[in-house]
Structure 1
Amino acid sequence: MEREVHINSKEYGLDVFAKMNSFREENKYCDFIIKTGEKRMPVHRCVLAAGSEYFDCMLSNDTKERHEGIVEIRDVDSSSISKCIEFMYTGKAFVSDEKRVDLLHVAHMLRLHRLYNGIASFLGNQLNSETFFTTREIANRYDCSGLIAVCDNFALRNFRAIAKMDDFKKIEAKYLDFLLSADGLKESDRVKCKALMAWVNYDLTRAASLFNMMRHIEFTNVPLSYRKFLMDHDATVSKSIECFKLVMKSMINLEKVKASDTSLDSCIIVLDHSSMKMKRLDVETGVGTELQDMHEQMRSKASSVVILDEYLYAMMDDGSNYRIKYKECNARWEAIAQRNGHWGLAVVLNDCIYVTEHDHCSERIERYSSSKNEWTFIPNRANAVAYTAVAVAEECLFEFGGRFSNNFITPGVHMFNPESSTWSEAASLKQYRYNATAVTHDNVIYVFGGSDKYYDCLSDLEIFRPNSNTIELVALQNFTGNQFTCHSLDGMIYVIGVDSEQPQTIHVYNPKLKALTNEVTMHDMSVQRCDSVLAFIE
């Protein structure tokens, strides 16, 4: 009976191939030549056939190369041929960044599966929004199924980042349709819609594909202002009956709302502490219509509320946070991840919630990702500051004024760009100002009230235009206050809670006239600072 002699076969195989490689380098027992350009490389047929399907097919059939013992490979990088030969002998390959694609091309041609899969894996590990399009093109050209899958997963996870790249506008319709319809795409409908429209308008011949792709977007989750823009100003939508109807259908409930009444889509929701109810506010009459119950924590804690997609979020002064599907009558509040900071003002930018530490001097601002349910700190401001006014425009966050820890009041205007994760100084207010309130209307930011460096309440506003970094100071009649909220709705700005003696008064500001035009009183409601939010309800 024979028994196995225990030998390290792996080491033996390595030793044999190392010896074969030394024979190759010494041109010993070589029986075949690979020629590329002026370079001739002696090799062993048995190694080529074992390592490469390409050479196995060539050398096992009645070919000219088999009989003549030489093959000439043209129009390829000769150094990549050398590295492929070395790989077949050693199982190792080294390549510079600029030669990766050349080596992948030759490895694919010679059917060196392990080598080109290794290069593809390396490319996949180095994938980012800047390399994505080139890497995907390489993966498709050489049919690297593994790398194709890696690119697809990357695109679904980082749709917003790649949609900002110029090459996104050049992707084929079939691939964009795949991305928009994929279950793995967790991006907001707003981002998907803007990416689609940028792609279509880059080449208007694509308009024929628009309707089918738009059906992958839930337009009720797209901001009302952008839907109106598409219908009024985007020719690819306004000139297509199907596309126009699809957007229009999202703006009105055809069963409950008259076709002529499109304003019911947007409203202001207030938190009424007297009834502990969220209420939809009629800004013309001051009457509130009950929605869901407020969260019990709101009874004793200050909160800042924002709308993000289908949820109303409430950030409490103890760092706890809650959300509710505000359009659903029977929805219940649910807790989300805890914040690290103090109470602050909340704004929404690029589907993330940003919260300042409003009444506490700090360099920090926290950002919430709903897809990850986590809070992270963005890069610190240059100085610790409190009582800033915050607004969003041009896909950036702007902070106005504030008070430093030494009680110095600043007129500074600072901008945070989430794409570059950097802060920069944008302008300087006309007044030293803190505890003001800012609101964006038609891509212009209006900074109302607050207190000056003498701690006196201001009776004016400053109009900041982000596209030119210019500021205009406007005096206001019968207006003095701080710690209130503002909302842009149907061409007007509604200032809620500015009057400390009559906190339920709503001041109505007309941006075209640059003046306060009238006042509305909220009836039977107790609304505190930051307890109102602009929302969309059908």
Structure 2
Amino acid sequence: MRPTPKERSLHKEKIMDYLNFDRKGPKRHCNKTLTSDGKNFSVHDCILGAASDYFKTMFSVEMKEKYDEVVCVKNVPPKRLENVLEFIYSGDIDVTEENMLEVLEDSEYTQIEGLKSFCNQFILQVVNADNCLKLRAYAKRYNLDDVLDKTDQSIKENLASVMKHKDFMQLEVDDMTIIIKQRNKDQEEAVFTGIVQWVNYNPSQREELFVNLFSQIDISSMSSGFLAKVAYENLVRSNLVCSNMLVDNLIKSFRQLTAETGAELLVIGGEGSEKDCVVYNVNTKELKYLPELSTKRVGATSVKVGRKVYVAGGAENSDAVAYNTCEMFDLNEQTKWNSLPCMGECREFCGSGLIGDSLYCIGGFDGTIHSASCERYDARSDVWNEIAPLNQARSGLACVVLDGNIYAIGGLDNKYLSTVECYEPRADKWRFVASLSKELNRSFSCVVGNKIYVVGGEMNDESISKSVEVYDPTSDEWTTAFELQNPALDATVVVI
């Protein structure tokens, strides 16, 4: 019969408890004294050697300390040395956010892997946007690979706020380059702002590094408004290489816009094809199917921001309860639809428009009443806010943006509407403009060549329209452009 593992563990614990008591009290068996800043600690060299490679080497090779009864520990202050000794003898130590880096340094200095591992696990639990840069530096210094991964992930997820932290300004250029390479695709504007701040923090030594950092940014993903700020930045304007990069990108973007604008239509959802997303090329007449919506949508509304398409509201079918959910599709990646924050109100058959980086949702039907309420989604802050209501409640309206104004076209308010309203964002006010030639509900619209095209819809006699009407804002008049081969109802369309 042999002792159980538990019995053996209790035996070892009893011995260590006695030796820990001995070093603190009687000191009958201690054979070494450690000293730090004038404070002495009685110890057993065999115990220290068993726990610490630092002390094992010190007490086993032909060094002066092997034979000295009193050994000076220069790099660990008394209080911290006492904590290290307590861990060696009992396995116990109190690691906090305030002392974790000191404990890490002491574990590395004394070469106690168990203490270093424990400290590593604690640091993993406290990594956040405020300390990730500092902890990343320690992770590199002490080879904490999992902490390095965790801090890199935190930096990636919180890049905009991290770049405002004082620790960011102390980074070396190599670390800056690594952080830039790890960024998300939608963080180019934040990265540019951070690079400028970092260079200006120490311009005499860092200005020459700006070109290389600037070249790693994808300028094409920036908004037109932000590109204007880039163009006026002194670090860009004063450097011929950076200026040429900016000009080349603008020319490329202009050519791409010229080639693509109006060439394709993306038709999203609608009755009979509730989750379908189909691209129709106007020039080649070809169809291409994109990944399906994550939710069936009839009577939804959509806009395009850069290379991203946003869809808001709608319902599973024309008799279902309206949604307040929204989703986004990246035309570059073309992998799946992603969820966005919900609107303040549930809306189906509402209108939408895009001004700057803000998505506007106009009117709609909440399942009970036709609504005049309107709200705006700021893509930068990821928040919805209420704006001025329509003069006339309407759902099933068509909605577009032209010359910085939003047009709410036709719809239904207990009767079919031909009226059209124009919203001026600066005044936060709606006004009536010329009406359609006929009442239309649940039509869809887009802008091509500075004119508004309204397609299909349900007419006053409940028949479905094949016609396409065109509005010219310079003359404030509507005309009929052509007719479709088949009637169209409850789809949504954007020019891509």
Q: By the TM > 0.5 criterion, same fold?
A: yes
The 1:207–1:64 alpha-carbon spacing in structure 2 relative to 1, beyond 3 Å, is same
In structure 2, C-alpha distance between the alignment counterparts of 1:36 and 1:140, rounded to whole Å: 28
Counterpart in the other structure of 2:301: 345
Counterpart in the other structure of 1:200: 195
Q: Structure 1 vs Structure 2: percent identity of aligned residues?
A: 13
TM-score normalised by structure 2 residue count: 0.72
Counterpart in the other structure of 1:308: none
**Residues 195 and 213, structure 2, Cα contact 8 Å, conserved in 1:** no
Match of 2:19 among 17, 23, 38: 23
Counterpart in the other structure of 2:97: 97
Counterpart in the other structure of 1:87: 87
**Residues 51 and 112, structure 1, Cα contact 8 Å, conserved in 2:** yes
3-state SS of paired residue (1:107):
helix
Deviation at 1:231, TM superposition (A): 7.0
Deviation at 1:11, TM superposition (A): 6.8
Counterpart in the other structure of 1:245: 244
Cα-to-partner distance string for 1:90-129 (whole Å, 9 max, x where unaligned)? 4454423333233223223322233223323443354444
Larger gyration radius, structure 1 or structure 2:
2
The 1:476–1:369 alpha-carbon spacing in structure 2 relative to 1, beyond 3 Å, is closer
Match of 1:507 among 461, 465, 471: 471
Counterpart in the other structure of 1:67: 68
In structure 1, C-alpha distance between the alignment counterparts of 2:87 and 2:173, rounded to whole Å: 39
The 1:57–1:333 alpha-carbon spacing in structure 2 relative to 1, beyond 3 Å, is farther
Match of 2:348 among 365, 378, 386: 386
The 1:388–1:499 alpha-carbon spacing in structure 2 relative to 1, beyond 3 Å, is closer
**Residues 431 and 452, structure 1, Cα contact 8 Å, conserved in 2:** no
Q: Which residue type is aligned with residue 158 of structure 2?
A: A
Q: Would you say 1:163 and 2:170 are equivalent positions?
A: no
3-state SS of paired residue (2:224):
helix
The 1:341–1:334 alpha-carbon spacing in structure 2 relative to 1, beyond 3 Å, is closer
**Residues 34 and 73, structure 1, Cα contact 8 Å, conserved in 2:** no
The 1:197–1:424 alpha-carbon spacing in structure 2 relative to 1, beyond 3 Å, is closer
CA-based RMSD of the aligned residues comes to 4.8
3-state SS of paired residue (1:459):
strand
Counterpart in the other structure of 1:268: 262
Q: Which residue type is aligned with residue 458 of structure 1?
A: T
Deviation at 1:198, TM superposition (A): 1.0
In structure 2, C-alpha distance between the alignment counterparts of 1:129 and 1:333, rounded to whole Å: 42
In structure 2, C-alpha distance between the alignment counterparts of 1:210 and 1:265, rounded to whole Å: 33
TM-score normalised by structure 1 residue count: 0.67
Task: Give the paired residue count.
Answer: 462
In structure 2, C-alpha distance between the alignment counterparts of 1:121 and 1:441, rounded to whole Å: 56
3-state SS of paired residue (2:244):
helix
Match of 1:484 among 441, 444, 466: 444
The 1:6–1:177 alpha-carbon spacing in structure 2 relative to 1, beyond 3 Å, is same
In structure 1, C-alpha distance between the alignment counterparts of 2:321 and 2:108, rounded to whole Å: 59
Counterpart in the other structure of 2:291: 336
Cα-to-partner distance string for 1:421-453 (whole Å, 9 max, x where unaligned)? 7x55433325354344555689x6635335575
In structure 1, C-alpha distance between the alignment counterparts of 2:123 and 2:129, rounded to whole Å: 13
Deviation at 1:140, TM superposition (A): 3.5
Counterpart in the other structure of 2:275: 320
Counterpart in the other structure of 1:497: 454
In structure 2, C-alpha distance between the alignment counterparts of 1:325 and 1:70, rounded to whole Å: 82
The 1:10–1:90 alpha-carbon spacing in structure 2 relative to 1, beyond 3 Å, is farther
Deviation at 1:249, TM superposition (A): 3.3
In structure 1, C-alpha distance between the alignment counterparts of 2:18 and 2:351, rounded to whole Å: 73
Counterpart in the other structure of 1:426: 386
Match of 1:474 among 431, 443, 447: 431
Q: Which residue type is aligned with residue 225 of structure 1?
A: S
Deviation at 1:175, TM superposition (A): 2.5
Gaps of 5+ in 1: 272-277, 279-302, 305-313, 510-514
In structure 2, C-alpha distance between the alignment counterparts of 1:90 and 1:143, rounded to whole Å: 26
In structure 2, C-alpha distance between the alignment counterparts of 1:390 and 1:474, rounded to whole Å: 17
The 1:123–1:333 alpha-carbon spacing in structure 2 relative to 1, beyond 3 Å, is farther
3-state SS of paired residue (2:425):
strand
